[in-house]
Structure 1
């Protein structure tokens, strides 16, 4: 019976992604972001449960990637579509209306789905890659999802004119799409948060990262989330350089 617990948690990730998809389609991006976060939490818990229960299976591996494709692949693309739609119009438009007239501005929001394409490619590679057991190569799709969902949360909840102007700029958003799509598929080793032991030795970079995350979230709120993803990449690069030296 216990061997089914990780897969059940993965299916809850799928459910969270489905709910987030509905909210993203109706431009209710705060709720979409909430259910992406819930899905990412289930994504962490299913792996944790599999390690604790030693309930590994090929089915679990495939199911995990399928769940991530919904929660951390499709939904970020939809959220970016809505952000680009807002940035190329006068504001939040009716969710059921797509103002398509053939111009560049009406095509541009669909570029958000480049994130979905890049996520699909990364997840397919991950399933056949034997190198990504204790670490990642390229930005994990949940990390990209967290980065993207933070953008509407910042826009809607934090009164920061500079950041609001950036998020309202379609070319900044396109830059996020292109950079994050590249990072997800780049051959850059990134550390994982999988703890084999709870001691500080051997887990220094993980504990430092978690401590900085906590400080950032307490002081910067939603603005901390993109900063945390950038910090994650930078700490990984520093760790890579230190291992090579």
Structure 2
């Protein structure tokens, strides 16, 4: 019975991804972000449960990537689609997201579909990850959950932490296009990034992980959602420094 527990947790990630997809299509991006975050929570604990129960399996590996494809691959692509559409339709206001499908169809732009490059790059990364036996204690390229949090932080910043200057930057179509290209590159780059997998609770063995979590917590408390892009940047830079040591 216990061998099915990690897979059930992974299926909860699938469910969260499906709900997040619905909200993202409806342009309820803040709710999409909530369910993506919940899905990533389950994504972290399915692996933890598999290690604790010692029931790791090939099925679990494949199921985990399929779940990530929805929660951390499809949803960020839809969110970027919506942001690109808003950047051209002027649909943002301080009361929320006012963009509608009818407005988009009247506008007739194909630029928002460029956002699905994130979904395509995520699919390629996840397929490659399943074939790579070296990514155990570290990752090669930005993990899809980290990338998803990065993309989903943008509407949250607009909604809760935005200023006129920040909003203008985020809803600049050139900025969003460059961010999409950067996202696709980081997902499939050769950068070696540390994994938040604790084999024990020793500070000596996990110093980088503890420092990263503490700094991230401080940034979230002081900067709220605006901290998320900086946390991802700190994650990449600290990994690069660690790999050189």
Normalising by structure 2, what TM-score?
0.95
Cα distance in structure 1, aligned partners of 2:171 and 2:214: 31
Residue in 2 that maps onto 1:62: 62
Structure 1 residues 5-26: Cα deviation after superposition (integer angstroms, max 9, x where no partner): 1000000000000000000001
Cα separation, partners in 2 of 1:17 and 1:97, compared to 1, 3 Å: farther
Structure 1 residues 128-162: Cα deviation after superposition (integer angstroms, max 9, x where no partner): 00110111000000000000110000001114222
Give yes or no for contact 2:89–2:104 (8 Å, CA) kept in 1: no
Gaps of 5+ in 1: none
Residue in 1 that maps onto 2:173: 170
Whether 1:194 and 2:202 are equivalent positions in the alignment is no
Cα distance in structure 1, aligned partners of 2:6 and 2:90: 45
Whether 1:182 and 2:185 are equivalent positions in the alignment is yes
Whether 1:50 and 2:50 are equivalent positions in the alignment is yes
Cα distance in structure 2, aligned partners of 1:75 and 1:220: 24
Structure 1 residue matching 2:236: 3-state secondary structure? helix
Give the count of matched residue pairs. 239
Residue in 2 that maps onto 1:26: 26
Cα distance in structure 2, aligned partners of 1:46 and 1:100: 44
Residue in 1 that maps onto 2:139: 136
Cα separation, partners in 2 of 1:219 and 1:52, compared to 1, 3 Å: same
Cα distance in structure 1, aligned partners of 2:51 and 2:164: 44
Give the 5 Å matches for 1:222-233.
222-233=225-236
Cα distance in structure 1, aligned partners of 2:162 and 2:230: 17
Cα distance in structure 2, aligned partners of 1:217 and 1:74: 26
Give yes or no for contact 2:78–2:115 (8 Å, CA) kept in 1: yes
Whether 1:117 and 2:105 are equivalent positions in the alignment is no
Tell me by how many angstroms 1:96 deviates. 5.6
Cα distance in structure 1, aligned partners of 2:11 and 2:200: 28
Give yes or no for contact 1:82–1:109 (8 Å, CA) kept in 2: yes
Residue in 1 that maps onto 2:105: 99
Cα distance in structure 2, aligned partners of 1:101 and 1:5: 48
Give yes or no for contact 2:89–2:103 (8 Å, CA) kept in 1: no
Tell me by how many angstroms 1:101 deviates. 5.7
Normalising by structure 1, what TM-score?
0.95
